[in-house]
Amino acid sequence: MTEGQDGEQHDEVYTPPTLTGVVRKKAPERGFGFIKAGDGNDYFFHFTDLINGAHFEDLSEGAQLDFEVKREPEFGKAGAAQNVRYHRKADA
């Protein structure tokens, strides 16, 4: 909890980091894959983690995706991704 300008206590809201990466490997028969993120780490994703019109069947290796970190990589294991969606380029 933090104290706001009004002197009241407020709960802090955790916002998971959003990263961009590419599909490194896909296991179509098992419904999951791995994303190689810009931070150099791999992140596991399941087809149920896809949102905003992204379809597992349509993803190919090398496709660029944005995602939120569900679990950080540790002990040599891949992290986990959530809210995986096609990459949106910043408006110019």
**Strand pairing class (79-86; 42-46):** parallel
What is the residue extent of each domain of the chain? 16-86
Q: Spelled out in words, what is the top-level CATH class assigned to the domain 16-86? A: mainly beta
pLDDT in tens, 32-57: 999 999 999 999 999 999 999 999 99
Over 60: is that where the pLDDT of 4 sits?
no
Distance CA 34, CA 27 (A): 9
